[in-house]
Every structure is written in structure tokens, then in C-alpha cells.
Structure 1
Amino acid sequence: MEPPGLPLDTEYADDIDFNDEDEENLKALLPIATEVLKDWNLFVNEDKTDFTHVYLAEKGVKDDQGKPIAGNELWRKSITLGSMLCSKEDISRRISLGYAAFNKYKKAWSHRIPLNKRLLLYEALVVSVLMYNSSCWAAPKSVLEKLDIAHRRHLRSILNYKYPHRISNKILYKRCNAEPFCKGDVDDRSQTFSH
């Protein structure tokens, strides 16, 4: 039964993904899905439907402007449920968003606020942005290390450590009661990633 006063199309919000190696199968599936879902009062906005061809281009293949396609395939920039399909691209985007969030709350890093409160705010307002959907990432350790670099820069800023003053990574993490995102020994860059 329809809730009073609510238009039918505002009763739900949802996304769905269909995957196939052949884009033509997906295009053929769209009108079928639209018809079947309509029976349950779920309406597909075909104008907002995206078709993303996920593939790995062969090395040496170039686009119309002569740029290599391998590693720059269009699907790498596609966003689904707030995350880019390419882990490497998504991590770069998360780092940028993390810096933006960190800078947005500059007043929260003031030394008038106790360190434990600043760190709680940092965890809630910045780390949550940095690590959004991180359980889906499959990226090389060198890319994951970039997250730790951003994390340590934020922590140093919260502690007001600026050049030329230095603090080791180990002491930094200990003082902030934090851990690197690449788990393991702070100085060992080959450890596994988790958060």
C-alpha cells in the first residue's frame, strides 16, 4: 500500500548492477529488467543507466590522440556506489577527498581542543572518508602506502609538527594511539593492508 502523500517513485532508492562480458547482453537485459521491475512498482530510469565495459587494453594500443589506453581504460574512472571501479584510481580519489575533509575541519585541529578529542574527530571526519569502501580494494602495496603517507601528514598536523621539526613514524603512531593502514611493523612497507 502506498504511503499517503508520497509519490510512488520516492518510496525507494536503490542501485543495481548487472555484469556480463558482452555489452550487447546488458543492453538487451535493460528493457526486460525495466518491465519485470515495473510489476513490483520499481521504476528504472533508463536515462540514468550506465553501461561500463570493463576490459584490459593490450599494451601498445593508443587512442585517437596517441595516448596509451592500457592502464587508462575508461572504466577505471567509473563510480558505483561512491567508489571507483579501479582500486588505484579510487585510492587516489579517497586521498584527495581525505585532504579536503581534513582542511574543511581545520578549526577542529586547534590545540585548544584536547588531543584525544582531536583524534576522535579525525577518525570520524577524515579516516572515514579515506577508508570508505576500502575492503573492496585490490591494489599494490606502493599505492596503499600513499594512504599511510596522507594519514601520517594529517597526524603530524594535528600534533603541530612542521618542518624542520621531526618525529619518527613509530613515535607518531604511538603518541596518537594510531596504526598505519598497511598493518605490520611501521618501517616494513611490505605488510598487508587493513583497517
Structure 2
Amino acid sequence: MLEDVGKALNKIGLEINKDKTKWMSNEPRTTTTELTLNGKVIERVQHFVYLGKLIGFRRPKVPATAAFKEISRRISSGWLVFNKMKTLMRKNNVPMQLKRRFHDQCVLPAMLYAAETWALTKSDKERLMVAQRNMERCMLGITRRNMEHNESIRRKTAVKDCIQSARKVKFAARVTSDADKWTARITNWTPPSKRPVGMARLDI
């Protein structure tokens, strides 16, 4: 099939880049299956990044799976956004309302990118919650040595919970996936006619 695709592309002046092309399979790595294009072996990988998300197979009892690494990437992305404004987020004289707004509008979306495709395990949720708690401590200017309870920290920061937000994104994707539901019909609805140009007439 790959050879056929390559020939079809050549007919219209396109060519597959053999160095950038990778392939993935759910077969065990011990198999000797190879994929070649014009005599050159295409590299087989365990996971790859597509549209900003790490794609791979979840393997039981193997911690370094694509899903595990994707959560790590998302936590790193959240910290990257957080640290870009660390002068804002770590100063005690900055109002918590401003810190909360930046966290909910910038940091949280970076952490939950593509969350609608996740199948979170208990350990995944724990890692996300720990990362968010550490960010909240930075916002409050405290450390673990202060021995402050998580509930107290959340009351002071009042940020959106990352796990609840991930569930809402997943629920929204599920609701709009069914074309017969009223939410999807309203979203995709097109008015049958156009409104005339100008202001509406006022009959007094």
C-alpha cells in the first residue's frame, strides 16, 4: 500500500520523505516485519506526536507508555506557561484574583490540551493533581513545610480543578458527537434565510 501511495504521489509531482516517515504497529517488537519504500527501510516507532498530541498504544504494566508520556508532556507544558509569568504568579503582592485568572485561562488549557482523548487512570489523575497543587503553593508563596491541607489551599486559590475540567471537556465532546442531539443540531444549524441589510424597521 505504501508503494502504491508513493507511485500515485509521484504522478502529481509529490514525493514521500523517507527520513521523516515513520510507522507504528501493535505487533510485538520481536517480530521481523519491515516496511520499505523504494528499497529503503522506514523506521518503526512506539509512539509519535501528531497535532501536538503523543499517539501510541497503552501497554499494561508498562509505566513508560505513550499515555504516561503524554501526561508528562502536558504537565511540562503547564509549568512552561506558568514559569513564563513566574514574576506574576510567585509574588505575594499580586492579587490572587489575577493569578487565578491567568491559571484558569492560560496554564490549565496547556495542561489539558487534547484531554477529550484521554482515558485517565488513577495514577494519571494523581500526577495531574500533584502538579496543580504545586502550582497553587507557588501562587500562595508556601511550601510543603508549611503543612497546609489541600482543601485550605484550594479555598485560598479558588482555581478550577484540573480533573473536573478534563471531565467537562470529555463530556462536551461526547454530547456534540451525536448529530441527533439538540446541542449538536443547534451548533450546526444554519438559518434558512439571510437577514436584510440595515436596521430592522420600527413600526410605531
TM-score, normalization by structure 2: 0.59
Give the structure 1 partner of residue 22 of structure 2.
51
Which structure 1 segments of 5+ residues have no match? 1-24, 63-72, 184-191
- Which of 108, 111, 118 is residue 88 of structure 2 equivalent to? 108
Number of matched pairs: 145
Q: Is the 8 A contact 1:119 1:176 kept in 2?
A: yes
Matched, 1:90 2:70: yes
Q: Is the 8 A contact 2:6 2:15 kept in 1?
A: no
What RMSD in Å do the two structures reach over aligned CA positions? 3.0
- Could you tell me the percent identity over the aligned residues? 19
CA distance in structure 2 between the aligned counterparts of 1:45 and 1:131, rounded to whole angstroms: 36
Which structure 2 segments of 5+ residues have no match? 32-43, 56-65, 170-204
Cα deviation for residue 194 of structure 1 reads 4.9
Q: Which amino acid letter does the alignment assign opposite residue 76 of structure 2?
A: S
Partner secondary structure for residue 46 of structure 1: coil
Partner secondary structure for residue 182 of structure 1: helix
Give the structure 1 partner of residue 147 of structure 2.
166
Q: Is the 8 A contact 1:91 1:144 kept in 2?
A: no
Stretches of 4+ aligned residues off by more than 6 angstroms: none
Give 1 or 2: higher strand fraction: 2
Q: Is the 8 A contact 1:108 1:121 kept in 2?
A: no
Q: Is the 8 A contact 2:104 2:160 kept in 1?
A: no
CA distance in structure 2 between the aligned counterparts of 1:139 and 1:146, rounded to whole angstroms: 10
Matched, 1:74 2:50: no
Give 1 or 2: higher helix fraction: 2
**Structure 1 residues 128 and 75, CA, compared in 2 at 3 Å: closer, same or farther?**
same
Q: Is the 8 A contact 1:145 1:182 kept in 2?
A: no
| Structure 1 range deviating more: 125-134 or 172-181 | 172-181
Q: Is the 8 A contact 2:22 2:45 kept in 1?
A: no
CA distance in structure 1 between the aligned counterparts of 2:16 and 2:4, rounded to whole angstroms: 12
CA distance in structure 2 between the aligned counterparts of 1:167 and 1:98, rounded to whole angstroms: 23
